[in-house]
Amino acid sequence: MQIRSIKQSDNPELAKIIRATLTEFGADHPGTVFYDASTDALFELFKKPRSVYYVAETEERKIVGGGGIFPTEGLPEDTCELVKMYLLPEERGKGLGGMIIEKCLETAKEYGFAQIYIESMPELEQALKVYERFGFNYLGAPLGNSGHFGCELWMIKEL
């Protein structure tokens, strides 16, 4: 398995994985990345300074998921958001998600962030457990202006 930075040619496959995962868990509702136009243009989105998106691919070059960090509008200057963490079903539970999260945490520190924030949904219970293991704590309200009003759980971690 290789974890690398996103390429423009990755856009269609990543959008497909993100939307299929949200559909699988019944989380494909308005106010989520399912409906974001940026989901179809991740390479372009992650050109923003202090952002990165990591893609996981097999030795056969099959894209199996990814995740990244983004300085979401409205967050404190020292806070980024862990975003668009999705894996194909057959790759979950093998530690790959944890590897991507670790890489994101390391990069966030390198970029000078002191905190990392997450928006999620109860339907993504498996992911929430992973975030908890990484030391993310629940918040009572959202931070920033992600526009994801469909997300009703928020978490943060000090770096």
Residue 146: the pLDDT is: 83
Distance CA 122, CA 103 (A): 25
In this structure, the strands spanning 2-5 and 115-120 are unpaired
State the alpha helices, DSSP H only, in the chain: 11-24, 42-45, 96-110, 125-133
Distance CA 24, CA 44 (A): 26
pTM here is 0.93
Residue-number span of the structural domain to which 38 is assigned: 2-158
Using alpha carbons, select from 144, 143, 142, 71 the residue that is nearest to residue 152: 142
* Cβ(113)–Cβ(75) below 8 Å: no
59: domain CATH number is 3.40.630.30
Residue 14: the pLDDT is: 97
Residue 125: the pLDDT is: 87
Residue 148: the pLDDT is: 78
Structurally, the chain folds into a number of domains equal to 1
Residue that is written with structure tokens 């959008």 in the block = 15
Residue 126: the pLDDT is: 86
Which phi and psi (to 5°) does residue 44 adopt? -65, -40
Cα–Cα distances in angstroms (integers) from residue 139 to residues 50, 117, 120, in the given order: 24, 10, 11
Successive 10-residue mean pLDDT values, the chain, 159 residues: 96 96 89 88 97 96 96 96 94 92 97 96 89 96 84 94
Distance CA 81, CA 73 (A): 10
